[in-house]
Structure 1
C-alpha cells in the first residue's frame, strides 16, 4: 500500500482517482487547492498526482516549488497533449504525465510502474514519518533540521530504519554495521544507541525502542 497525494481542482476527478486507487489498496489524500497543503508534510507521500491547470497555482509552478522538498515521483494530470507542454512539465521536476481523459487501467498501470521503480531505486533517500534519510549524502533530517550523527551512528540508524519493526541484538547490529573484522566489540552498540537517542530527542523524536533481553528496533 502506498500513500498518494492527488491534487486537482475538479471534485469529480478527485472522486474518480480516489475510487480507482483505493480499490487497489492505496491510501489517497485528495486536495482541491495545492496552496492549502503544508509543504513540510509532503515527504510522507510515496507518489503525487498533480493537475496542470488549476486556478490557484499552475501545476508546473507548484511542482517547481516543492520538488526540492520531496523525493517521490510526481505525475502530471493534463488535458494538454502538445509536446512542448509535456516537455515543460518534465523539466519542471515531473516524472511522467497522464493525459485526460484516462482509463482506469492506464492510471493504475502508470502509478504502479512508478511505485515499483521507487522500491527498486530508492537510492536518494527514504522517509519514516518526519524523519528523512538522505542516502546520497549519508545524513538524517527531522523536518528540515539535520541530526548530527557520526558515521557509526548513521550506519546503525539506516540498518534499523530499513527494517523497521525487526529486532536486532547488539551483536547483530555490530556485525552488520561494522563487520566482523572491525575494532571494538558489541558493547559499543549500547553507547551508540544512547547517543543516537539523545540527538533525536533534541528534535522531538525517539525512534529506537529497547526490546528487553533481546535488543533494539526502529519504532
Structure 2
C-alpha cells in the first residue's frame, strides 16, 4: 500500500487520519507543522495531506516549498472554503482540497482515488498529439505551446489531456473530476473550476488568448481545435 504524510496541528485529527488510513493498509506519518516536512519525508510520501492553518510554516507555504521536491498528490484539509483560498492552494500546486469537517469515508475514498491516478502508467499506444495549439506528449505527460513548455501541475495536465483527447465534447465539472481523479466529485468539483483558471492563465502567458479551453455556460468545459 501507500505511504501517507499528514501535516496538521490538531493532534486528535492526526490520530483520526492515522487510524482511518491505516485501516486501508497505508503507512501513515504525521507532523504538526509544515516546517517539519523534510525533503526525506517528501521522497517517502506517496500522498501528502496538508492543513492550511498551522503555526509557523502554514500549508500554503509548505506546498510552495515542497512542490518541486515531490510529484505526490497534495490534498489540502481546510476549514477555509473561500474561493480565494482554494485558488491559492491549487495555484501553488495542490491537487485537491477537502473541507473540514469531512466524513472519514470521503477522506479514504479521496486519498484512494488520487493514489490510483498517480500510479497510472501510459499504455503502449502513448503518443504525441496536438490539439488547439497545444502539443501533448502522452508518454512523458508534458505539454508545450510551440517550443515553450506549458508548465502544468499533475492535476492541471490531467484535465487538459482528458479534454484534448475528446475535442469538441462538453463535459460537466463533475464528469471531469470523476474521469481525472477517479472519484465522484459532486461535492467538490469546484476544484476543477480553480484548476481551469490556473490553466487559462498559463495558456495566456504563452499567447493562447482565447485559448482552446472553452467554457460552455451552464454546462461545463470543452477543448476546441483539432
* TM-score category (smaller protein): 0.5 to 0.7
Match of 2:158 in 1: none
CA distance in 1, matches of 2:68, 2:8: 21
CA distance in 1, matches of 2:49, 2:20: 13
Match of 1:103 in 2: 103
Count of residues paired in the alignment: 126
CA distance in 2, matches of 1:10, 1:33: 10
> What whole-Å deviation, never above 9, does each CA across 1:95-125 have from its counterpart, x for those lacking one?
00010000011101110110010111489xx
Instruction: After TM superposition, give the deviation of residue 84 of structure 1 in Å.
Output: 1.4
2:71 is the alignment partner of 1:75? no
Match of 1:84 in 2: 84
Match of 1:55 in 2: 55
Unmatched tracts of structure 1, length 5 or more: 124-134, 138-219
Match of 1:118 in 2: 118
The 5 Å alignment of 1:38-187 reads 38-121=38-121, 136=140
Is the contact between residue 47 and residue 72 of structure 2 (CA under 8 Å) also seen in structure 1?
Answer: yes
**Secondary structure of 1:5's aligned partner:** strand
> What whole-Å deviation, never above 9, does each CA across 1:37-58 have from its counterpart, x for those lacking one?
3224411210000000001112
2:44 is the alignment partner of 1:23? no
Is the contact between residue 2 and residue 46 of structure 2 (CA under 8 Å) also seen in structure 1?
Answer: yes
Is the contact between residue 4 and residue 48 of structure 1 (CA under 8 Å) also seen in structure 2?
Answer: yes
**Secondary structure of 2:97's aligned partner:** strand
CA distance in 2, matches of 1:81, 1:37: 24
Is the contact between residue 33 and residue 58 of structure 2 (CA under 8 Å) also seen in structure 1?
Answer: no
Is the contact between residue 34 and residue 58 of structure 2 (CA under 8 Å) also seen in structure 1?
Answer: no
Tell me which stretches of 4 or more aligned residues in structure 1 moved more than 3 Å. none
Unmatched tracts of structure 2, length 5 or more: 124-138, 142-226
Change beyond 3 A, Cα 1:121–1:54: farther
Change beyond 3 A, Cα 1:104–1:41: closer
**Secondary structure of 1:71's aligned partner:** coil
Match of 2:135 in 1: none
Bigger relative contact order (CA 8 A; separation at least 6): 2
Match of 2:4 in 1: 4
Q: Which has the larger radius of gyration?
A: 1
TM-score, normalised by the number of residues in structure 2: 0.53
The two structures, once aligned, show a CA RMSD in angstroms of 2.0
CA distance in 2, matches of 1:11, 1:17: 10
**Secondary structure of 1:17's aligned partner:** helix
